[in-house]
Structure 1
Amino acid sequence: MMLIAILLPWLSFFLRGKILTGIVCLLLQITLIGWLPAAIWAALSLNDSRENRRNRKLIKAIKQSRG
């Protein structure tokens, strides 16, 4: 998925269900100068999404161990 985020940033957003963000990213990527910021944005967004998922799992595990 990280490779997709770097090579085709807009597709990374589309695959995660963020259609509007993907369209904005595609418009940014259309310009040659905007491709690099779009790739960085997609990679950072992917990492943030992974962190959020991991944190939700940790919180759920903590709640289950207490209850």
Structure 2
Amino acid sequence: MLIIAIIFPTLSFFLRGKILTAILCFLLQITIIGWIPASIWAVLSLQDARAEKRNKKLIKAMNRK
């Protein structure tokens, strides 16, 4: 998924179900100069989603004890 976020940032957002964000990313990605910020944005968003999932899992495990 990380490679998709770098090469096709719009597709990365679309596959995660963030349609509006994918459209905004596409508008940024249309220009060659905008491709780099769009890729960075997609990678950071992916990392943030993974961290959020990990935190929820840890909180759930802590609440069981």
TM-score when scaled to structure 2? 0.99
What residue number does 1:34 align with? 34
Gaps of 5+ in 1: none
Q: Which amino acid aligns with 2:25?
A: C
* Structure 2 CA distance for aligned equivalents of residues 29 and 5 of structure 1: 12
* Structure 2 CA distance for aligned equivalents of residues 4 and 48 of structure 1: 16
Q: May I ask how many residue pairs the two structures share in their alignment?
A: 65
What are the Cα deviations for residues 24-50 of structure 1, in whole angstroms up to 9, with x where unaligned?
001100100000000000000000000
What residue number does 1:57 align with? 57
What residue number does 2:43 align with? 43
Q: Which amino acid aligns with 2:23?
A: I
* Structure 2 CA distance for aligned equivalents of residues 17 and 5 of structure 1: 14
Identity among equivalent positions (%) equals 66
Q: Secondary structure at the match of 1:17?
A: coil
**Structure with greater Cα Rg:** 1
Structure 1 residue runs of 4+, over 3 Å off? Answer: none
TM-score when scaled to structure 1? 0.96
RMSD over aligned CA atoms reads 0.3
* Structure 2 CA distance for aligned equivalents of residues 47 and 32 of structure 1: 24
